């Protein structure tokens, strides 16, 4: 028989297999200990069993064998430092458990409070496996403390999931109707333009308070989407034939927008007659990430059909440390997409800082499939046609007819030039 493969080749080959990263801990009469591991997997559903593989020469093996218990905390993408510490890659660390939150559950083994997931186990079997022991653990407790993308290990390097581009995305126009209203453009040509935009495959949103079906038949703006300030206006918009009703959630009690406590009343007023879109303002500033994620979770729990994240308008001047960047957007969306679950997440990006298309590509790679844009970028929002061009170059489908869309842009420019800015009230 051919000799076994040499250790170097074996390590190099198995390094090509990507895995998650976990910290395996135990605590008992010999104290507590933990180590980073990737040799962990599920084994059985009934009874619930998992297994971990431990080198017989290390301290963790001795302690698990003696204590008869262990816990496994699955690391999230923001736990690289913690993973390195428990892997012994940070010299001088006296207590690996410092600077992280831990708690004990059924077995007394520490579990990471902000892990992506954890299981608490009693050793049920121990099998020899070469220079390792295969510990089979019966899961006596388990939790998912938070929804976060996992930390990965591949080719001896730490990494994160690289999501593929979507097959297709959808677009909505949230700026054209507002700009035409501000410029006091003639109502009948405006209605025809917005109708043509809708027929081209773009979901058109009307300004707050503008009911879709008001006016003579030939002047009516197509009932596609309406932004409303509260439950009463939501019911009126749905009665007018609006396919979608949107509202901006209040960031704080008493702040502008619909408070979270009033969202159930708004949903009740619609009674399923229209798609409900909850919008989170100023959602992309790095310092706002925790609050934004809380609002995503709250809107999902309330029963919204879609959740939109809006980038704040650029106020000009030098770049602010709180200004969104592709890196921050990536980190935010990795968590927001997880929290939204099956609820579609929309993104309204600005392009007045020149990062609109870069952020759009970042968003698509992060799991976003729906975008709010503006024809010709008329209000600083990402230009609809520029997004479509990016998608066409990247092989991402968009159910929008480009020819009619170009005609709509020409007509929009004509109407904006023709109109006169409204004076402030």
Q: How confident is the model over 255-292, as pLDDT tens digits? A: 889 999 999 999 998 888 889 999 999 999 888 999 99
238 pLDDT band (50/70/90 cuts)? Answer: confident
pLDDT score, position 223: 53
Cβ–Cβ contacts within 10 Å for residue 95, how many?
Answer: 7
State in Å, rounded, how far the first CA of the chain is from the last one. 91
Measured CA to CA, the distance from residue 389 to residue 386 in angstroms comes to 5
pTM for this predicted structure: 0.71
Measured CA to CA, the distance from residue 240 to residue 166 in angstroms comes to 34
CB 340 within 8 A of CB 347: no
Instruction: Assess whether pLDDT exceeds 50 at residue 202.
Output: yes
Structure token pair of residue 215: 């006016």
If you average pLDDT over residues 87-105, what whole number do you get? Answer: 90
pLDDT score, position 418: 63
Instruction: Assess whether pLDDT exceeds 60 at residue 320.
Output: no
pLDDT score, position 47: 96
Structure token pair of residue 25: 């801990």
CB 157 within 8 A of CB 393: no
25 pLDDT band (50/70/90 cuts)? Answer: very high
Measured CA to CA, the distance from residue 96 to residue 77 in angstroms comes to 19
CB 387 within 8 A of CB 373: yes
Identify the residue with better confidence: 229 or 422.
Answer: 229
Instruction: Assess whether pLDDT exceeds 70 at residue 293.
Output: yes
Cβ within 8 Å of residue 392, ≥6 positions away = 398
Side-chain half-sphere CA neighbours of 323 within 13 A:
17
363 pLDDT band (50/70/90 cuts)? Answer: very high
Measured CA to CA, the distance from residue 68 to residue 125 in angstroms comes to 10
Identify the residue with better confidence: 78 or 348.
Answer: 348
423 pLDDT band (50/70/90 cuts)? Answer: very low
> b/e map of 124-158 (b: 16 or more CB within 10 Å)?
bebeeeeebbbbbbbbeebeebebbbbbbbeeeeb
Mean pLDDT comparison of 154-163, 180-189, 400-409, highest-scoring range: 400-409
Radius of gyration of the chain (CA): 27
Peptide bond before 215: cis, by omega within 30 degrees of 0? no
If you average pLDDT over residues 22-47, what whole number do you get? Answer: 94
The residue count of the chain comes to 425
Instruction: Assess whether pLDDT exceeds 80 at residue 317.
Output: no
Structure token pair of residue 205: 């949103």
Measured CA to CA, the distance from residue 253 to residue 33 in angstroms comes to 45
pLDDT score, position 215: 47
Measured CA to CA, the distance from residue 87 to residue 346 in angstroms comes to 39
pLDDT in tens, 370-395: 999 999 998 889 999 999 999 999 99
Instruction: Assess whether pLDDT exceeds 50 at residue 360.
Output: yes
Three-point CA angle 109, 115, 342, nearest 5°:
135
* DSSP strand pairing (306-310 vs 203-206): unpaired
Measured CA to CA, the distance from residue 75 to residue 72 in angstroms comes to 9
Instruction: Assess whether pLDDT exceeds 70 at residue 236.
Output: yes
Going by C-alpha positions, the residue among 265, 185, 173 that lies closest to residue 222 is 173
Measured CA to CA, the distance from residue 417 to residue 317 in angstroms comes to 28
Structure token pair of residue 320: 């602010």
**DSSP three-state, residue 360:** helix
Owner of token pair 């428990």: 86
Measured CA to CA, the distance from residue 118 to residue 111 in angstroms comes to 7
Instruction: Assess whether pLDDT exceeds 90 at residue 294.
Output: yes
If you average pLDDT over residues 44-69, what whole number do you get? Answer: 95
């Amino acid at each position: 028989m051919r000799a076994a493969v040499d250790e170097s080749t074996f390590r190099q080959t198995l390094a090509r297999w990507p895995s998650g990263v976990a910290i395996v801990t135990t605590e008992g009469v010999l104290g507590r200990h933990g180590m980073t591991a990737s040799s962990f997997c599920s084994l059985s559903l009934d009874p619930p069993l998992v297994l971990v593989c431990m080198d017989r020469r290390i301290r963790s093996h001795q302690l698990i064998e003696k204590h008869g218990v262990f816990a496994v905390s699955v690391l999230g993408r923001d736990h690289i430092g913690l993973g390195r510490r428990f892997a012994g890659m940070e010299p001088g660390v006296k207590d690996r458990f410092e600077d992280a939150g831990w708690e004990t559950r059924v077995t007394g083994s520490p579990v990471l409070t902000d892990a992506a997931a954890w299981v608490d186990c009693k050793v049920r079997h121990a099998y020899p496996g070469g220079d390792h022991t295969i510990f089979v653990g019966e899961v006596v407790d388990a939790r998912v403390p938070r929804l976060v993308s996992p930390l990965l290990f591949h080719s001896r390097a730490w990494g994160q999931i690289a999501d593929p581009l979507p097959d297709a995305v959808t677009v909505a126009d949230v700026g054209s109707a507002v700009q035409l209203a501000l410029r006091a453009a003639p109502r009948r040509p405006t209605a025809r333009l917005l109708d043509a935009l809708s027929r081209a495959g773009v979901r058109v949103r009307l300004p707050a308070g503008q009911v879709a079906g008001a006016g003579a038949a030939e002047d009516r703006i197509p009932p596609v989407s309406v932004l409303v300030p509260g439950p009463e206006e939501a019911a009126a918009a749905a009665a007018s034939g609006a396919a979608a009703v949107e509202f901006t959630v209040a960031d704080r009690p008493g702040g502008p927008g619909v408070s979270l406590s009033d969202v159930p009343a708004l949903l009740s007023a619609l009674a399923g007659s229209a798609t409900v879109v909850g919008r989170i303002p100023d959602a992309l500033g790095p310092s706002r990430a925790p609050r934004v994620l809380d609002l995503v979770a709250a809107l999902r729990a309330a029963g919204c059909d879609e959740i939109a994240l809006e980038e704040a308008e650029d106020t000009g001047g030098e770049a602010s440390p709180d200004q969104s960047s592709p890196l921050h957007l990536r980190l935010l969306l990795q968590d927001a997409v997880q929290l939204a679950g099956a609820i579609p997440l929309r993104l309204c990006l600005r392009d007045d800082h020149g990062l609109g298309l870069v952020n759009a590509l970042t968003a698509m790679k992060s799991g976003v499939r729906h975008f709010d844009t503006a024809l010709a970028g008329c209000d600083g929002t990402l230009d609809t046609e520029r997004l479509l061009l990016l998608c066409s170059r990247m092989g991402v489908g968009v159910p929008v007819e480009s020819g009619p869309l170009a005609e709509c842009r020409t007509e929009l420019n004509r109407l904006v030039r023709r109109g006169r800015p409204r004076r402030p009230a």
